[in-house]
């Protein structure tokens, strides 16, 4: 039994179980990789994190493994991947991804570089926050993804604060959550 299965069966928070594991008080199997974390996450949440979506894009076989666990998880994974579109054809250039850390710190010039790329790349149909985050993180190696993955939400928040970018996003209430949607506005001629 791994730590995720133990958390499910015992009802104890994962944070508590990780602390007990660090102290050596638990005897659980080693983490079985990203699949266990995805399954654990899907039990309490309908949406994958940006990091999990990147793992699914990098290793499409994980979707099949999710199907083995639950057809519902496979449907959710496929729907979220389909919503992203063709990431490889439209990911951000290196000059844009290099600005993520500075944009997260509040540098308006770095945020403007990201905003200008997004303004050119966004489709006219609204797309979720993950659409932009994945395209900014996808061209990076694993180390840079991990470093910038923590900063991407803050960087995009600072992009949304720019007055030039105001017509390119909106917040929508979906169920009980607010979701940010990005889109290219229609031009009035």
Q: Does residue 184 contact residue 173 with C-beta atoms inside 8 Å?
A: no
Please name which of 163, 145, 156 lies closest in space to residue 179, comparing C-alpha atoms. 156
Q: How many domains does the chain have?
A: 2
pLDDT (tens, 9 = 90+) of the chain, 189 residues, equals: 666 677 777 888 878 887 887 888 777 666 557 777 788 777 777 788 898 999 999 988 888 888 877 888 889 899 999 989 888 888 899 999 999 999 999 999 999 999 999 999 999 999 999 999 999 999 999 899 999 999 999 999 999 999 999 999 999 887 788 889 999 998 655
Decide if 188 is inside a domain. Answer: no
- As beta bridge partners, residue 180 has 171
User: Is residue 68 domain-shared with residue 125, that is, in the same domain?
Assistant: no
Out of 84, 112, 147, a domain closes at: 84
> What is the residue-wise DSSP string for 129-174?
HHHHHHHHHTTS-HHHHHHHHTTHHHHHHHHHTSGGGGGGEEEEEE
User: Is residue 74 domain-shared with residue 144, that is, in the same domain?
Assistant: no
Q: Does residue 36 contact residue 2 with C-beta atoms inside 8 Å?
A: yes
Burial 135-153 (b: 16+ CB within 10 A, else e): bbbbbbeeeebeebbebbe
pLDDT on residue 20: 84
pTM: 0.76
User: Is residue 74 domain-shared with residue 130, that is, in the same domain?
Assistant: no
User: Is residue 58 domain-shared with residue 126, that is, in the same domain?
Assistant: no
User: Is residue 100 domain-shared with residue 147, that is, in the same domain?
Assistant: yes
Domain residues for 153?
A: 94-182
Length reported for the chain: 189
């Amino acid at each position: 039994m791994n730590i995720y299965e133990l958390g499910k069966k015992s009802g104890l928070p994962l944070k508590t179980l990780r602390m007990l594991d660090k102290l050596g008080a638990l005897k659980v199997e080693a983490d079985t990789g990203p699949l266990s974390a995805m399954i654990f996450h899907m039990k309490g949440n309908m949406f994958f994190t940006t990091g999990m979506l990147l793992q699914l894009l990098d290793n499409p076989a994980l979707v099949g493994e999710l199907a083995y666990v639950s057809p519902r998880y496979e449907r959710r994974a496929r729907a979220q991947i389909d919503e992203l579109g063709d990431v490889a054809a439209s990911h951000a250039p290196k000059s844009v991804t290099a600005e993520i850390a500075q944009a997260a710190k509040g540098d308006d010039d770095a945020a403007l570089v990201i905003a200008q790329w997004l303004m050119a790349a966004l489709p006219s149909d609204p797309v979720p926050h993950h659409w932009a985050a994945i395209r900014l993180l996808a061209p990076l190696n694993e180390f840079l993804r991990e470093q910038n993955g923590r900063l991407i939400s803050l960087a995009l928040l600072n992009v949304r604060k720019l007055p030039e970018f105001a017509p390119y996003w909106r917040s929508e209430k979906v169920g009980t959550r607010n979701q940010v949607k990005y889109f290219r506005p229609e031009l009035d001629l």
